[in-house]
Structure 1
Amino acid sequence: MESRVVRRYARALFELAADENKLESVGEDLKQIQQMIAGSEELVEFLESPVIQTSDKKNFVREFLKNRIDSLTYNFIFFLLDKKREEYLPGIIGYFLKLLDESRGILRGQLISAHELTDEQLSSLKKQLDRYSGQDVVLEQQVDSGLLGGFIVRIGDTVIDTSIRNQLNKLRETMVSPG
């Protein structure tokens, strides 16, 4: 669950970006920064280190991001640095992107299957999920051969488990339980 600080800053950035018609560019900037953070533990340690001066962190941001991201995103990162809130950046990015998805009517989920689904299978499943949710569902696909067959879909708090492993577990419970 996101902290109040994360939600407050993400919502403020989202509203500011919406007011300035920059939701798309700020969203793309944040995805780019999210990838940078995910790809470098050293970057996270640098940004979150209380030992490193804010001016050094600003110089780093200036050198690597100055002309690569929108001025709103750039100034927001500087604002976080000034407020000593940089450790919240990954959470703020995640919550901002969640707000962006909600504003677009997009629902993100995870699809875990025993093997890679074909484009036709994915399309059919997506249509059913879109109809069920009333939103545009975007699935991140993962393969888990331990499922034996079928799939599991996780969207928010909802889990749809049609895996053979789950069906076998239910059968075992039925056979073992008295009654």
Structure 2
Amino acid sequence: MDIGIISARYARALFAFAKDRGTETRVYNDIKMLATSFEKEAALKEVLDNPVLPETDKKRLIRSAAGIEVCPEFERFIQLVLQYKRESLLQIMCLIYISLYRKEKNINRIYLYTAVPLAKDLKDKLTNDIQQKTGGTIEFSEHINPELIGGLIIRMNNYQMDASVASQLKRVKKQLMEKNRQTEE
């Protein structure tokens, strides 16, 4: 059994179904919430993989992990996943659906790492600049890391811009060590 192929088929089918009904954004929000729950709580996957747990309990657990009120399309999807005993693949299905949705809607995921929280006006300016350059929408994921000392690191797709003070200090240290090594020779 190829879990990637099966998961992709389910995710694509859900995306097509939701798109036909005009609810792909609502399903996206439910799926994102469920994916976040999987990410934050590793035990969720373990519980869903438990063959002893009744289907009704699994359904209730998935529904609560996806948010209080899930849309009917997502509800039907969960019923289908449970009916065919594919709950062990649900996390992968979520990630594939998210990827399909973002590609379709031209949404760029930006990971922003700073030493302190970024001011709202600076974050808005950064968002506008990136949106103009990419022509798409931006979803920010902000992370605070005091070890950066100052500055920021931006990751988008396969691109990373590191303008942190910590990285600059490491580069200066490396250059000084190389010069010191050269003078010793």
Q: Equivalents in 1 of 2:38, 2:168: separation in Å?
A: 39
| Number of residue pairs matched by the alignment | 175
Q: Residue 21 of structure 2 corresponds to which residue in structure 1?
A: 20
SS in 2 for 1:29: helix
User: What is the CA–CA distance in structure 1 between the aligned matches of 2:40 and 2:107, rounded to whole Å?
Assistant: 25
Gaps of 5+ in 1: none
Q: CA deviation at 1:37?
A: 4.2
Change over 3 Å in CA distance of 1:159–1:11 after alignment to 2:
same
The residue type paired with residue 8 of structure 1 is: R
- Measured after TM superposition, the shift of residue 146 of structure 1 is 0.7
Aligned-partner Cα distance in 2 for 1:160–1:13: 35
Give 1:124's aligned residue. 125
How much is the aligned-residue C-alpha RMSD, in angstroms?
2.7
2:77 match: 76
Question: 1:85/1:133 Cα in 2 relative to 1: closer, same or farther (>3 Å)?
Answer: same
1:130-161: CA deviations, max 9, x gaps?
23333222211111111111000111211110
TM-score, normalising length: structure 2: 0.79
- 1:176/1:134 CA distance change after superposition, 3 Å: farther
Give the gaps of 5 or more residues in structure 2.
none
Q: How does 1:1-179 map to 2 (within 5 A)?
A: 3-38=4-39, 40-49=41-50, 51-52=51-52, 56-58=54-56, 60-61=58-59, 65=63, 68-177=69-178
More divergent stretch after superposition (138-147 vs 92-101): 92-101
Q: Could you tell me the percent identity over the aligned residues? A: 23
CA distance in 2, matches of 1:149, 1:99: 35
Q: Deviations over 1:77-100 (max 9, x none)?
A: 122122221111122112212222
Q: Which amino acid aligns with 2:148?
A: L
Q: Aligned to 1:177, what secondary structure does the other structure show?
A: helix
| Cα distance in 2 for residues equivalent to 1:169 and 1:39 | 32
